[in-house]
Each structure stands twice: as C-alpha cells, then as structure tokens.
C-alpha cells in the first residue's frame, strides 16, 4: 500500500477559500466511502494551493474509469477548480500491498481487528483487492456496503475482545444465521453474480467446536488452493474456514 501526495493547484485565484477547503475535505471523504482513499487523509494548505496526503490502494484510485456515478461528480468538482498531480511518497509498512492480479480466479470476504485494507481478498495472491476494481454496491448514502460490513464486523470483534455482551458478540461472529454473517454471505453472492467468479465468505469457528464439515450444509470440506488465507472450503456454500 502506498502513501500519496495529491497536489491541488487552482486554475485561477481562489475567491472563496472556505468553500474550496470544504469541497476538498468533503470530496475526499466521499472517496473514502468507496475505498478509493483511506479516511485518515490530511489536507495541507500551501502557498500555491493545497496538498492532500493519503493512503490509496494504487495510483489509479482516482481514475474516472473506476469511479461510481457519485464519485465521478466528486472528482469533476475538484478538477473544475484545481489541477491534480499524484505522486507516490513510498510504501506504508503498516499496510499490506494491494492485489495486482488481472483476473483473480476466486475471492474471499475477510476482515479482522488488524485489517485496515479492503475486506475482499484475492484467492490467488492473498492480498486485498481494491474495492474500486470490484462491482460497486453502495448504500443509500453512496458508501460501499462492503466497507459498512467491515466496520460492523470490526466493531463487534472489538466488543468481543473486551468481553462486552459476550453472548451477543459470540452469536454474531460464530453463528451462520447471525445478521452479520448473513449480510456478509449475501454480499459475496452479489459480487460473485456480477463477476462470475467464486466468492467465498470467511467464517470464524470457535476453537472448541472446530470440525471437518461445513457449518452450513454439513458437507465434507475440501482443501483450499491457497492455505495461507484459508485452509478449508465448502465449494457448495462458498464458505471458507481456517
């Protein structure tokens, strides 16, 4: 994952500074909702314009070809006032590099408390797939539903680690019928239908209840082609297990 400097230089003298600064912040916040920019970006006022420092999955993250209708409008608003220049400042050692496979043969939806990257993992290389390279599934406010699911999973996992409402958190994490897991599996089916490539859902298992059968259909599991990200798969239910 790379750290970028996006230089914004105005086409002409800025008259309404407050409007421009608000536009920059709101625009990059919108891009954060779709995973094109990570939300811990910083906007810096400079003598000849502004610079935004942000972690992005790749240098093509702001290309209009990868934007949804909402984010196309966002980028166009910025481009109407500023010229943009993107330069990489180097790799972020706390973030994993993004998948660069042209045509992954399968995907897996996965996240944990240590994961800040895309929750969709390439089954071939095991690296996070930039969300803008996947079919766009947005909520009513234009945010990625995959990122919404990731935030929910991380929030529940945080409560579980803190032993807060353990019965509720355990049910959400480990039960195949919980709202969290049903939502995740539904997202996998939607991406699979759009991409026509298998998309597996990573299910967590309680250590005392781990077995060799699928927790959904009870069929025998098969070994994964990439055991670094998942040891066993149910190809019928699209479930991945460690």
Beta strands in 39-123 (DSSP E): 42-46, 49-56, 82-91, 107-109, 120-122
**Continuous segment of H or E residues that includes residue 240:** strand 239-241
**pTM of full prediction above 0.85:** yes
Q: What is the pLDDT of residue 208?
A: 54
- 176 pLDDT exceeds 80? yes
- 65 pLDDT exceeds 80? yes
Q: What is the pLDDT confidence band of residue 228, given thresholds at 50, 70 and 90? A: confident
- 207 pLDDT exceeds 80? no
Q: What is the pLDDT of residue 209?
A: 67
% residues pLDDT > 90 (the chain): 63
% residues pLDDT > 70 (the chain): 98
Of 13-27, 111-125, 203-217, the one with minimum mean pLDDT is: 203-217
Count Cβ atoms within 10 A of the Cβ of residue 129 and give its class: 0-12 exposed, 13-18 middle, 19 or more buried.
buried
Residues paired with residue 51 on neighbouring β-strands, in sequence order: 7, 44
Of 39-53, 93-107, 169-183, 205-219, the one with minimum mean pLDDT is: 205-219
- 42 pLDDT exceeds 70? yes
Question: pLDDT digit string (tens) for 156-175?
Answer: 999 999 999 999 999 999 99
């Amino acid at each position: 994952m790379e750290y970028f400097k996006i230089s914004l230089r105005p086409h002409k003298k800025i008259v309404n500074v407050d409007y421009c600064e608000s536009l920059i912040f709101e625009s990059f916040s919108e891009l954060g909702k779709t995973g094109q920019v990570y939300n811990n970006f910083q906007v810096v006022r400079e003598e000849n314009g502004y610079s935004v420092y942000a972690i992005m999955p790749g240098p093509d993250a702001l290309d209009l070809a990868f934007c949804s209708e909402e984010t196309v409008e966002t980028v166009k608003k910025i481009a109407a006032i500023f010229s943009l220049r993107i330069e990489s400042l180097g790799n972020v050692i706390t973030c994993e590099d993004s998948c660069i496979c042209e045509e992954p043969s399968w995907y897996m939806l996965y996240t944990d408390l240590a994961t800040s990257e895309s929750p969709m993992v390439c089954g071939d290389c095991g690296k996070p797939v930039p969300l803008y390279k996947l079919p766009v599934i947005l909520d009513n406010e234009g945010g990625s539903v995959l990122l919404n699911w990731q935030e929910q999973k991380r929030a529940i996992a945080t409560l579980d680690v803190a032993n807060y409402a353990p019965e509720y958190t355990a049910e959400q994490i480990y039960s195949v019928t919980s709202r969290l897991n049903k939502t995740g599996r539904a997202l996998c089916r939607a991406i699979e239908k759009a991409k026509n490539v298998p998309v597996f859902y990573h299910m967590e298992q309680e250590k005392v209840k781990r077995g060799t059968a699928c927790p959904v259909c009870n069929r025998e599991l098969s070994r994964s082609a990439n055991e670094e990200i998942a040891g066993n798969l149910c190809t019928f239910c699209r479930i991945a297990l460690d």
